[in-house]
């Protein structure tokens, strides 16, 4: 049965030709990630079990203390993740933080799913989703980053965790909730300046650990991703919303 499931996934997901030539639509990436998660051997919960994802795809994963260095546009980087399709192996640098290791693994899984022509592939360190991906990365790397977000933070789980914490999904930024989140925004603006001006409330929702006297793990901690990655994913899914006619506070 396991071999049948793996064969199905490898044929229907990994080897499918993208509908849009060399650039895969974001909706298509999201759908493929959901297809992989649908074949997980156990219920999918946060944080997503990446060993189960590897099992579905039929790929081995290993953590190494050193994966070497490589050059890119005149600069040198240490290798954070590597894919070897012939050996059915993905390697990740073990000295990365937990959040970086998980995002790198999701990034390599997405290369495995979307880019069958990448037989040998090396990646430099990527901490998580970034708002400037479009400007500085090749198409396949943007796709791999987006796909990693889809695997690590699937819509169904993000929505469920928001409902468990805030009692609704999407989260509507009422006056009372904004007042509470505004108390938390100062810390976020200091720690994540490059994102605070564009997604301030997403950052607050991603990182807040108490609400109305109740304490809980932050959304970022539950999914074992960085706070900016969680905030960007909330923005991508449009799950933090201002009521109609209400302007954001500065």
Residue 134 has pLDDT above 70, yes or no: no
Biggest alpha carbon–alpha carbon distance for the chain: 56
Question: pLDDT over 70 for what percent of the chain?
Answer: 80
* Long-range contacts formed by 35-42: CB under 8 A, 24+ apart: 35/9, 36/9, 36/109, 36/113, 36/151, 37/151, 37/154, 39/5, 39/8, 39/9
Higher pLDDT among residues 3 and 94, named by residue: 94
Which of 54-58, 166-170, 181-185 has the weakest average pLDDT? 181-185
pLDDT tens, residue by residue, 79-113: 999 999 999 999 999 999 999 999 999 999 999 99
Residue 60 has pLDDT above 60, yes or no: yes
Q: Which CATH class is domain 2-152?
A: mainly alpha
pLDDT tens, residue by residue, 14-54: 455 444 333 458 999 999 999 999 999 999 999 999 999 99
Place of tokens 């943007």: 142
Which of 226, 206, 230 is closest to 218 using CA atoms?
Answer: 206
Determine the angle formed by the axes of helices 26-38 and 50-57, rounding to 10 degrees: 90
The domain segmentation of the chain, as residue ranges, is: 2-152, 156-241
Q: Which two tokens stand for residue 38?
A: 């649908």
The whole-number pLDDT of residue 22 equals 39
Place of tokens 């993000």: 158
Question: pLDDT over 90 for what percent of the chain?
Answer: 60
């Amino acid at each position: 049965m396991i071999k049948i499931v793996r064969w199905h996934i490898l044929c229907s997901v990994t080897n499918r030709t993208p509908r849009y030539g060399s650039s895969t639509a974001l909706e298509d990436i999201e759908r493929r990630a959901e297809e992989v998660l649908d074949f997980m051997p156990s219920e999918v919960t946060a944080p997503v079990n990446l060993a189960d994802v590897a099992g579905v795809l039929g790929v081995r994963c290993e953590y190494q203390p050193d994966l070497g260095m490589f050059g890119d546009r005149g600069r040198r980087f240490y290798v954070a993740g590597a894919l070897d399709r012939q050996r059915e192996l993905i390697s990740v640098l073990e000295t990365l933080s937990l959040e970086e290791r998980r995002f790198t693994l999701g990034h390599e899984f997405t290369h495995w799913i979307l880019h069958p022509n990448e037989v040998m592939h090396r990646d430099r360190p990527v901490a998580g989703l970034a708002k400037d991906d479009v400007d500085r990365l090749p198409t396949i790397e943007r796709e791999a980053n987006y796909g990693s977000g889809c695997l690590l933070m699937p819509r169904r789980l993000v929505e469920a965790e928001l409902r468990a914490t805030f009692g609704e999904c999407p989260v509507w930024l009422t006056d009372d909730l904004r007042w509470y989140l505004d108390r938390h925004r100062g810390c976020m603006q200091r720690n994540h300046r490059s994102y605070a001006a564009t997604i301030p409330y997403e950052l607050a929702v991603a990182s807040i650990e108490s609400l109305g006297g109740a304490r809980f793990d932050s959304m970022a901690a539950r999914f074992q991703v960085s706070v900016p990655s969680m905030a960007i994913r909330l923005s991508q899914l449009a799950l933090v919303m201002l009521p109609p006619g209400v302007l954001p506070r500065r």
